[in-house]
Structure 1
Amino acid sequence: MANRHLSRSIVLQALFEWDFMPDKKGSNPTPEEVRDVLKRNLKEFAPGFEDDTFAFSLIEQVLKKRATVDEIIEKAAPDWPIDRISIIDRNILRIGLTELLFGDRKEVPPKVAINEAIELAKTFGGENSGKFVNGVLGAVYKEIGEPGKEQISKKKKNEEPVDISKLPVETLGGALVYSKKEGNILFGLVHDVFGYWTLSKGKITFGENVEDGTIKALKKEIGLDIKIEEKLGENEYVASHPEKGKSLKKVVYFLAKSDYKELVLEKSGGLDGARWFELSAIPELRIYNDIIPLISKAVEIINSDAKSESRP
């Protein structure tokens, strides 16, 4: 709707003003300060505009979720730390991601949130802003399972599929790590900024043995010295980078064991937590669909080994 597009534009101007002020940058504005900036901008850029509820609600939500959204931006655009992204582009991304991830999808469908952000980038950003914003939001949209995809047009559905044989390949190694504490088996999982519990993993350098690379990756990411026991399987997916384009990521997953110790998560734009879980707690967690079969297979292996050890 035209009124909401105007509201987003004015919210962007208010966020730009806030972010641009050296004495305010990085601080948490109070609701009163935010409302004052937005009120002034509404009066200046939209005199007579009466429906300001959406604008105030949006800017308050953006500021409330800013820390989480900034981490998501860093994961989706790893070559672009927040302070290297232009003020306009990063605040457009904050608006778009807030609506995409935390908004009411009945009010603002995911595709509308993305398209509105792209239009803001084309209007207020630089020459490549539209492409950059589209790349970041598109990557996040795919990461969360493309909600509302079934509602896209037939034309979109009939687009040519990606020829993965022509994409650059990146190999990663990951593991489901288990340990024993006081007779209980615990599983170590990491939590990403999209709200899912998943398996720790890392890049395998060219020419490196996958098992050796996985051991090093988990040591770096969660501080564990692991012993790989068995391969669980492989997953692959097409990832989109806002600057480099699409690539095929192939992940090899293992079952691994370690001594029990507290998990120490390396500071990462893509992860925000790591902890141990008993098996009984795992069904209640939010876990990616392609990870669930790996966990099930790991449990079968562990149970089978336990039965073998108990036999005379």
Structure 2
Amino acid sequence: MQALFEWDFNERKNDRVEDSIFRIVQEFGPGLDELDFIQELVLGVIKYQDKLDDIIEKAAPDWPIHQIAVVDRNVLRIGLFELLFGDKKEVPARVAINESIELAKTFGGENSGRFVNGVLGTIYKELGEPGKDEMPAKKKRPKDVTYEEMPIEKLGGAVVYRQTDAGFELALVHDVFGYWTLSKGHIEANENEKECTAREIKEETNLDIEVEDELGKNEYIASHPEKGKMRKQVIYFLAKCVGGELRLQAEKGGLDNVDWFTLPEIPDLRMYDDVLPFVTKAINLLKLKKS
């Protein structure tokens, strides 16, 4: 696990992987008689990294592989490698999944175990008992397409605020990767962006909102199990809470919590880099309202 972490953290340079494996084993497991197995596992994950990542993205389509924490994505790679290429007699599929969950709990964040369980469980259900070197034939793999050919999905999201005696507070949702982020949802064709955003926020957080300023747009590429790679375009708004009690309506889309935060608390939260600019702009607008 540590060898893969170092490899991934160091921009996936392969020239010193075997040296790293030997050094780590000597440091943390002197006398270990499973060096061959460890080398086979680590080098196998590296060899099939692209294939493993492609499957992981299809099982967690809302989360591009680069947004998954380094520990979590390498635990997933290990577990998936064993599911696809491991000796089923020595390591049955369910054992491989359970071992990955324990790795995630030990080395990952608070929600890593649950996340790894969900992703590998989804893959296991799709693959059944996968063959050693083959992918299931029951579903055709989406063909690779250029950026221009990728289907586009539009979403609307908001920085939702309320004003209390203590000042402004923002409502944020928490995902299974351990990040606080913004609530958002799908915009249907020909829908009004503001009305749709208000509806999606209500469905996800139970809050009634009044959409105000547009904060900007963001785009990222995600993978869908059937549609393949697609461009997700999100428009974000500043929105005022006008009713409703904040609560997560359903644990869907990889979310597990929701809460209010004062503006001074925001900088200490773990947030995605591509979300921070919209939160910062919203805070600046709120400061202008206050003045």
TM-score by length of 1: 0.56
Alignment of 1:49-198 (within 5 A): 60-61=102-103, 66-72=113-119, 84-88=125-129, 122-123=132-133, 126-127=136-137, 163-198=146-181
CA shift, 1:293, in A, is 1.1
The whole-number CA distance in structure 1 between the counterparts of 2:165 and 2:267 is: 22
- CA offsets 1:22-52 (integer angstroms, 9 cap, x no match): xxxxxxx9xxxx8xxxxxxxxxxxxxxxxxx
1:223 to 206, 219, 239: 206
Paired letter, 1:123? D
Partner in structure 2 of residue 249 of structure 1: 232
Partner in structure 2 of residue 290 of structure 1: 274
- CA offsets 1:154-191 (integer angstroms, 9 cap, x no match): xxxxxxxx743222111000000001233321101111
TM-score by length of 2: 0.60
**SS of aligned partner of 1:295:** helix
Paired letter, 2:262? E
The number of equivalent residue pairs is 208
Long gaps (5+) in structure 2 = 1-17, 19-35, 43-81, 107-111
Rg bigger for which structure?
A: 1
Paired letter, 1:246? K
Q: Verify the 8 A CA contact 1:200 1:218 in the aligned structure 2.
A: yes
Partner in structure 1 of residue 264 of structure 2: 280
**SS of aligned partner of 1:296:** helix
- CA offsets 1:191-245 (integer angstroms, 9 cap, x no match): 1122211100000011111111100000001110000110000001121223311
Long gaps (5+) in structure 1 = 20-28, 35-56, 75-80, 90-120, 136-161, 308-312
Q: Verify the 8 A CA contact 1:70 1:82 in the aligned structure 2.
A: no
CA shift, 1:88, in A, is 3.5
Partner in structure 2 of residue 304 of structure 1: 288
Q: Verify the 8 A CA contact 1:72 1:194 in the aligned structure 2.
A: no
Structure with more helix by fraction: 1
Instruction: Find out whether 1:3 has 2:37 as its counterpart.
Output: yes
- Relative to 1, partners in 2 of residues 1:59 and 1:227: Cα closer, same or farther, differing over 3 Å? closer
The whole-number CA distance in structure 1 between the counterparts of 2:140 and 2:41 is: 18
Moved more, 225-234 or 293-302: 293-302
Partner in structure 2 of residue 267 of structure 1: 251
CA shift, 1:251, in A, is 0.3
